[in-house]
Structure 1
Amino acid sequence: MNKNYEKFASVYDAIMDDSLYDLWTDFSLRHLPKSNRRKKLLELACGTGIQSVRFSQAGFDVTGLDLSQEMLDIAQKRAKSAKQQITFQQGNMLDLSRAGKFDFVTCYSDSICYMQDEVEVGDVFKQVYDSLEEDGVFIFDVHSTYQIDEAFPGYSYHENAEEFAMVWDSFEDDAPHSVVHELTFFIQD
């Protein structure tokens, strides 16, 4: 990854809404089958590992996968600090051939929306299907077409924190039901 993404990893947690992790954890625990044995869970696009740690604390054997090694470095430190044994892998959800087999796969924070088109989304679903055990469960979230078509075009958000400032603008894209998010960060060194 480039130097810019490394900087982004350093402010990622500050821009995320912490309450979402509680909601994703509660939703997952309500919808994943209960078992007496420790179930293997793969978290796609795990970022800095906050959700991975929560799943591990809930009793899952967790593997977190992310494109960014910088995010995974933060995730590893977070897991160690929380005294959780979590495997973190650098990789792309478009190729899970080396990830292993899992009882559950999750992909939150609208991360599937980062795929370039519906073909890539289908490829992710095929990769997840191939890495799930029989009767495995895949839970993910995505933006609604209403949000894509009505809320995002023209959306603008600005944040000024002590160590960084952020400008987030969204624009309608050429393909139907798609947007471009432009995030600009000013980070104090």
Structure 2
Amino acid sequence: MSSNSSSYQSLALIYDRLMEDAPYDQWMEYFMQTTKRYGGSVQQVIDLACGTGTISIELARRGYEVTSIDLSDDMLAVTYDKAQQSGVNVQLLCQDMREFIVPSSADAVVCFCDSLSYLTTPLDVEQTFCHVWQALKPGGIFLFDVHSVYKIQAFYGDQTFALADSDISYIWQCDWDGASQVTHELTFFVQEGGYYKRFEEVHQQRGYTVEEIEHWLRKAGFDHIMCTADFTDEPPRETSERLFFTAMKQDESNKVSFSSCS
């Protein structure tokens, strides 16, 4: 997810290649185990900030009714092609996660691959949580993961990463603000015929504390909040890198006014 829909225009074409080693099977296992633990019957699932739809398609393969939402229509175009090739149906909506609206409520909303870390202000997070609450049925659950503040500082920091393959190369410069936010400046070189096409991407991510996220979830009306770390059932530690949250929309008594989502 990005606050600028054009940010992923070129990246969409090579995103799956760059994410070949991403732990999609672990995200799916987390989803399956957590929904089972919460005991609800899940049929309709919203994949928020779905990217190129790898999670969406895997959910659809398992029989779920999937709505895939992303700010980038280029990402959604790749999702559509992959769904067609896989023989599954997903509903595609090009919307910003901070203000998305769906035609019918869902049993679960998922937002994996640290997509919520692209929300760089507390207001962005609050608005997104509010709209997720609105999109869920009573008893519905919200599952997502984010980068920890520790990872923003220790792993990204002011680091430079590089990849040099025969068909794709990149230089990835991280500019840390000294606190909890990092700017990723990426320069890609992608082979096209006998030449290499150069394009640039700029993305920002921010880490939030467990306490901040839990507060915003409760403010939006969620309860039964659980936080674990790094694809385990263990609570986060000081050096945890990826924080996983699950929260439930218990009933309508905690309902927030829709005006607070604007």
What is the TM-score when the length of structure 1 is the normalising length? 0.91
| Aligned positions of 1:112-131 closer than 5 A | 112-131=116-135
Cα distance in structure 2, aligned partners of 1:21 and 1:111: 14
AA in 1 matched with 2:122 = E
Cα distance in structure 2, aligned partners of 1:188 and 1:6: 17
Question: Residues 125 and 88 of structure 1: is their aligned pair in 2 closer, same or farther, counting only changes over 3 Å?
Answer: same
User: Which residue in the other structure is 2:167 paired with?
Assistant: 163
1:179 aligns with 2:173: no
Question: Residues 162 and 88 of structure 1: is their aligned pair in 2 closer, same or farther, counting only changes over 3 Å?
Answer: farther
1:24 aligns with 2:27: yes
User: Which residue in the other structure is 2:61 paired with?
Assistant: 57
Deviation at 1:99, TM superposition (A): 5.0
Deviation at 1:17, TM superposition (A): 4.1
Cα distance in structure 1, aligned partners of 2:124 and 2:61: 32
1:10 aligns with 2:44: no
Deviation at 1:98, TM superposition (A): 3.7
| Aligned positions of 1:41-120 closer than 5 A | 41-98=45-102, 100-120=104-124
AA in 1 matched with 2:132 = V
Question: Residues 40 and 128 of structure 1: is their aligned pair in 2 closer, same or farther, counting only changes over 3 Å?
Answer: same
SS of the equivalent of 1:180 reads strand
Cα distance in structure 2, aligned partners of 1:35 and 1:44: 20
Which moved further from structure 2: 85-94 or 176-185? 176-185
Cα distance in structure 2, aligned partners of 1:5 and 1:178: 20
Extract unaligned runs of 5+ from structure 1. Answer: none
SS of the equivalent of 1:88 reads strand
Question: Residues 51 and 120 of structure 1: is their aligned pair in 2 closer, same or farther, counting only changes over 3 Å?
Answer: same
Cα distance in structure 1, aligned partners of 2:97 and 2:181: 20
Structure 1 or 2, whichever has the larger Rg, is 2
Cα distance in structure 1, aligned partners of 2:131 and 2:43: 19
AA in 2 matched with 1:188 = Q
Deviation at 1:154, TM superposition (A): 2.1
SS of the equivalent of 2:23 reads helix
Q: After superposition, what is the alpha-carbon deviation per residue over 1:128-175, rounded to whole angstroms, capped at 9, x for unaligned? A: 01111001100000001111122211222211233221111212126x
| Aligned positions of 1:124-139 closer than 5 A | 124-139=128-143
What is the TM-score when the length of structure 2 is the normalising length? 0.66
AA in 1 matched with 2:156 = F
Deviation at 1:93, TM superposition (A): 0.5
Instruction: Say which structure is richer in strand.
Output: 2
| Deviation beyond 3 Å, 4+ runs, structure 1 | 33-36
How many residues are paired up?
186
Deviation at 1:19, TM superposition (A): 4.3
Question: Residues 6 and 163 of structure 1: is their aligned pair in 2 closer, same or farther, counting only changes over 3 Å?
Answer: farther
